[in-house]
Amino acid sequence: MYGSRYDRDDRGRKGDYGRFGGGGGRGGDKLSGLGKNLTRVDWSKVSLVPFQKNFYIEHPDITRMSDEEVDKFRRDNEIVTHGHGIPKPVTTFHTSSFPDYLLYELKKAGFERPTPIQAQGWPMALSGRDMIGIAETGSGKTVAYLIPGIVHINAQPLLAKGDGPIVLVLVPTRELAKQIEGECSKFGSSSKIKFTCVYGGMPRGAQAKDLRAGVEIVIATPGRLIDFLESGTTNLKRVTYLVLDEADRMLDMGFEPQMRSIISQVRPDRQTLLWSATWPKEVQALARDFLTNPFKVNIGSLELAANPDVTQDIRILEDYDKPRALYEILEKTMDGSRVLIFSQTKRAADDITRRLRQDGWPARAIHGDKSQQERDWVLQEFRTGKSPLMIATDVASRGLDVKDIKTVINYDFPSQIEDYIHRIGRTGRAGHKGTAITFFTLNDVKKAKDLIDVLSQTSQ
């Protein structure tokens, strides 16, 4: 049916994405220069080889669904759609009309049914149209774009020597890149699809070797990818399926010029899928510039809101009282369950970790100046519960999928309320309850109104 084949700027977080950050490989102060050496392509003078991108065949069970049944399914799953010609959502894996090899992989992964974003996103993505997906981390959005991407790859000619990837996934951080790589390993093996991660904080050699050998999927942070494009290590001439994941986060980190430089290297008749947790004006402008006649789907409200399953506990105190308050909380909460502490700076993360370890607490830190090897190790120790106490900067507030985090502690209040919502969203996931304890000082008074609004939204 489908064919087969075997740091933000100086306002807050620049340090976390500098030399070893999501941009990869170059200092934060040089970030603005990335991409200036790329040759802009005049696509009007390029003969583009036609390619296939519409693979959607509606299952008879879905065809038989009435408009009332479709509306009810969308209401029950908080699916809101915009655009014309929107396909009906699929209700089961069977009705997705995926080929058997992918249905087998979904079953093997232990999935029972499509999540809401997958139910509506799969037929959109398979249709070949550009699409916008607004959904939180943990909603299943990676699988929502990855499996249609595998179908897309399997319908294209094999890679020739010197070809770049067919699917490009741009992401803001290496943590998210590694998580997507894990999903590629899970679902791409039956098709013998080759993939690689391209991000800073690691030697270039192994990544360059993968790119030169030829891979169908590249997951990349903007800075390191531009390094490889400028050096001629790879190219984007074969990219016909482009994914911008956590687009709002990439813009927030100051990657817009780099994103635009990269997209200019991709043929304009590609299929583009833009994913974001929020829908601010900056993301809307990006979508207008790079997407053509897109479908749009969002899960829940477009307004960024806190998870009602998270109990928010606000502690108003002085800065000097924070260490004492933290120890009191840990005495009550550290029962073997995972506790995540957020600090605003790398230095604070290291200081908190050092003090806690000196007093016998099993604490580890993760932030942008840690090597990739150390960050992977700390995350694994945290996931397995060997080190159930992790201190992090906002590098871990999004794209971090760790199950069973019982408590989140905001040792420092973040610079903006959106980060507060993403931080506390690390607990209370998948229907479980969680607690977020936040220290609020006189220095944070300008954010009081926003915080009160968030508390009011969840009746807290």
Q: Which of 242, 82, 220 is nearest to 148 (CA)?
A: 242
Q: How far apart are CA 325 and CA 331, in angstroms?
A: 10
Apex 408 CA angle, 405 and 409, nearest 5: 150
- The pLDDT value given to residue 26: 36
What would you measure as the largest C-alpha separation in the chain, in angstroms?
67
Phi, psi of 107 (to 5 degrees): -65, -40
- Give DSSP secondary structure letters for 48-102: PPP---------HHHHT--HHHHHHHHHHTTEEEESSSPPPPP-SSGGGT--HHH
- The pLDDT value given to residue 368: 76
* The overall pTM is greater than 0.85: no
CA 418, 198, 180, 266 torsion-angle sign:
positive
Q: How far is CA 163 from CA 3, 206, 357, in A?
A: 21, 18, 49
Phi, psi of 386 (to 5 degrees): -65, -35
310-457, what's its fold? Rossmann fold (3.40.50)
Packing angle of the helix pair 204-213, 222-230 (nearest 10 deg): 60
- The pLDDT value given to residue 301: 60
Phi, psi of 440 (to 5 degrees): -125, 120
Q: How far is CA 110 from CA 83, 105, 114, 391, 434, in A?
A: 33, 9, 11, 31, 24
- The pLDDT value given to residue 13: 33
Q: Which of 418, 450, 40, 420 is nearest to 251 (CA)?
A: 418
**Which tokens is 391 given?**
């201190």
What does each of the 460 residues of the chain score in pLDDT, given as a tens digit?
444 343 333 223 333 333 233 443 333 444 556 667 787 888 888 888 889 899 999 999 999 999 999 999 999 998 999 999 999 999 999 999 898 889 888 888 888 889 999 999 999 999 999 999 998 767 889 999 999 999 999 999 999 999 999 999 999 988 889 989 999 988 887 788 999 999 987 889 999 999 999 999 999 999 999 999 999 999 999 999 999 999 988 988 889 999 999 999 999 999 999 999 888 888 899 999 999 999 999 887 655 566 777 899 999 999 999 999 999 999 988 887 889 999 998 899 999 999 999 888 888 998 877 777 788 888 888 888 888 899 998 865 555 667 778 899 999 999 888 788 888 888 877 667 889 999 999 999 999 998 998 888 777 8
Residue type, 42: D
- The pLDDT value given to residue 132: 95
- The pLDDT value given to residue 459: 79
Tell me whether domains 14-299 and 310-457 share a fold: yes
Q: Where are the domains of the chain?
A: 14-299, 310-457
| Number of Cβ within a 10 Å radius of residue 38 | 15
Q: How far apart are CA 192 and CA 45, in angstroms?
A: 35
Contact (CB, 8 A) for 212 and 233:
yes
- The pLDDT value given to residue 302: 55
* Lookup result for tokens 């906002």: 394
Q: What is the DSSP letter of 159?
A: P
- CATH code for the structural domain at 14-299: 3.40.50.300
Bridge pairing between strands 167-170 and 241-244: parallel
Packing angle of the helix pair 417-424, 448-457 (nearest 10 deg): 40
| Number of Cβ within a 10 Å radius of residue 110 | 6
